[in-house]
Structure 1
Amino acid sequence: MGNEKHGDDPAKPIDLASSDPGSLKARKKKISKQEAQKLRDFRLTAPCFLGNIPCRQRSKRRVKSKNSISKQTNRLDSGAFECYMEKLWSSFPEEKRTSFAYFDCQWFAWYRKASFREKVLSWIKREQIFSKKYVLVPVVCWSHWSLLIFCHFGESLQSETKTPCMLLLDSLEIANPRRLEPDIRKFVLDIYRAEGRPEKKEMIYRIPLLVPKVPQQRDGEECGKFVLYFINLFVEGAPENFSIEGYPYFMRKDWFNAEGVECFCEKLDSFGK
């Protein structure tokens, strides 16, 4: 796709955890005592909750130093994630890349800060996402990674064969992925408006947001790796025309195995060498 790197990024780092009122503790979804205890235990041990993910710096020297997974916490920060993503993207065949676009991993987080919103929307406009079949949107909120995918946004919202919809892939389902839905809905509406699209707000808000049952991380596993692996498998297996009728396609609990994850992580490690 040739993601553009913009020299006018906000200079101030964004504290993704402390600046957000929507902490896990504030969730309204009712869960059992057993689930609550499991979530508390996971939060204490999982790398994705060990502190805040630092904002990516544009210095090549800084990025190079972050182009690895921390040996102490096994945590993938935003600078390393973006470096891995660029290497992964370049490994895809050209015919795949022409159907896809992807966002910088910080754009969604920056969009949620009112002072950066217009700038992020202007960057997205340059990507011409309405000419792509799929758009990959890495999401990092509350120090946890998940993957949002826009499908067929350039098609009519009434289309049945190429259904405009969104997929939210989260390796930590117990944390309630749909807590992001209000922000996602507003994000999508603003993208449509920034592009000058004719669709009405009511129709845009009815674009289906699907949460497929994807494999879940275990204690100590890195959510950022799962997002990169979801991207890798989705690019490889995405159907020519995505429709609700064929959902969830290959995105099932067994869509990859432990050996596949291990091999992919080895591939990521080779990117950092």
Structure 2
Amino acid sequence: MLSYRHGFHAGNHADILKHAVLVHMLEYMTQKDKPLRIIDTHAGAGVYKLNGPQAQKNREFDTGIGPLWTLPQAPAAINRLLDLVKNLNDRGNLQIYPGSPLIAQTLMRSIDRLFLHELHPADYQFLRDAMRSDKRVKVLNEDGLTNLQALLPPLERRALVLIDPSYEIKSDYQQVIKQVISAHKRFAVGTIAIWYPVVNRLRIDEMELALKKSGIKNIQLMEFATAPDSLEHGMTASGMIVINPPWTLWAAMEETLPWLVDNLSEAGQGFYRLEQLVAEN
């Protein structure tokens, strides 16, 4: 199924949470003087024009990067993301928003390697163009979930995996958990970050339960909702489930999540979750 295009959703509240977590993890993991393998299973186009027809159709960035753009103060995790976005935009005019590939490319070092997967033919070509023949980056027109096992264990002996499918195919929820469990068996010390949308809470409950039963240790969940759960109004919340997170991530999210609720939720009706799903030991 190749109908999903992230350009229609770029810069929305879900992107803010996902990318704030990603930036924090990348900055922490690139401090160590050893190479890192970064794997993005659903990379998208890499970078998005907020003044283009896709982003302008529903203007979802008005729920995320738009209102945050001119705020004078923000938590450190949000500030770092804002710094990256501002560096892409001339003279302070918000026109460009980076996808996770461009964020990773910006923060990675010469010794790191980035593997990007995208199946949609148009977005795959945009992604190739965005990466500009960077020798550190490999762009693959392949299914990132099924190809994940072939990239683990990494030659670099360190890995950060980002899994963020559209979940338009309902079986994606089960497939993500299946592939994560297999990936963890191949490389138990890797950091795996799973993004999820809250459209039907039952599906998220099932994902959490499956991970708790998997035997995998050290799993944290961080979720931000702009409105109460609803079966009628689409995605009301999104979250990140991180296996083997950096030890600094919890404190960063303690500061960031309530701030997001205060600044991006609808009429103060939003909420957040920050939970240790499975203990480290």
Q: Output the TM-score relative to the length of structure 1.
A: 0.29
Q: Output the TM-score relative to the length of structure 2.
A: 0.29
